């Protein structure tokens, strides 16, 4: 099969004062780490979406070898997945969707999903619930084009209109940096931290750029 990976990084963080994509993580940036993980999966094609923070992300994150899709209206809730579908290679049998703030997703989880999925939709089932990565076959692309937001991606998974393959993944769901506690967990492991939205706290940023080359083909 020909598989396209789709890494979502277009939504904004208007109250942070700087993009969430550039949160400090393992000596680099959060989005850079998620992108490195996506690269490790060895997709036949890798597409990333960027929004209003595109220029800042390009300055700090190596985008070499990926197809970048600009989705400036994602800040107002529009689905960046919709324009990204136009960039998906015509040979692709489907897409594996990954969020840019969940760098703990492993290539093993991705390829277990791809290998075991037997329906047009697939999702990983961790010990504590269902989460990314998700699989959507090409026959679902028309329906995905009707999404209003990227979060609406879960509607066809949960509404019962399509059969869904749930593929077991090892351990708990990799944390996402959607709250202060989940970001802290990414940095130092589980701890007791008040679970407030990330944008209520100062945001640490990398002290130096990781930029090597740019690509926006």
CATH assignment of the domain containing 70 = 3.90.550.10
pLDDT tens, residue by residue, 117-130: 999 999 999 999 99
pLDDT score for 91: 97
Bigger pLDDT: 16 vs 29: 29
Assess if residue 207 is contained within a domain: no
Helical ranges in the chain per DSSP H: 30-40, 54-60, 81-85, 107-116, 141-144, 155-158, 180-188
Mean pLDDT of 34-57: 96
From 9-13, 23-27, 139-143, the region with the lowest mean pLDDT: 9-13
pLDDT score for 72: 79
Assess if residue 215 is contained within a domain: no
Domain count, the chain: 1
pLDDT score for 186: 83
Assess if residue 11 is contained within a domain: yes
Bigger pLDDT: 198 vs 36: 36
Q: Structural domain of residue 100, as residue ranges?
A: 3-200
CA distance 104 to 37: 8
Assess if residue 210 is contained within a domain: no
pLDDT score for 201: 44
Assess if residue 79 is contained within a domain: yes
pLDDT score for 187: 85
pTM (2 decimals)? Answer: 0.86
CA distance 153 to 31: 20
């Amino acid at each position: 099969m020909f598989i396209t990976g789709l890494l979502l990084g277009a939504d904004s963080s208007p109250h942070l004062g700087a993009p969430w994509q550039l949160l400090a993580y393992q000596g680099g940036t959060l989005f850079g780490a998620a992108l490195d993980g996506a690269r490790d999966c060895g997709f036949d094609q890798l597409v990333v979406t960027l929004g209003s923070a595109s220029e800042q992300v390009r300055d700090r994150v190596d985008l070499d070898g990926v197809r970048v899709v600009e989705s400036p209206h994602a800040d107002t809730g529009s689905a960046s997945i919709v324009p990204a579908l136009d960039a998906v290679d015509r040979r692709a049998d489907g897409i594996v969707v990954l969020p840019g703030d969940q760098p703990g997703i492993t290539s093993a989880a991705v390829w277990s999903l791809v290998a075991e999925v037997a329906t047009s939709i697939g999702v990983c089932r961790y010990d504590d619930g269902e989460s990314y990565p998700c699989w959507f076959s090409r026959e679902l692309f028309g329906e995905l084009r009707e999404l209003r937001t990227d979060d609406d991606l879960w509607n066809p998974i949960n509404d019962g209109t399509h059969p869904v393959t749930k593929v077991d993944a090892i351990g708990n769901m990799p944390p996402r940096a959607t709250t202060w506690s989940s970001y802290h967990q990414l940095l130092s492991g589980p701890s007791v931290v008040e679970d407030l939205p990330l944008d209520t706290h100062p945001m640490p940023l990398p002290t130096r750029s990781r930029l090597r080359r740019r690509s926006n083909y």
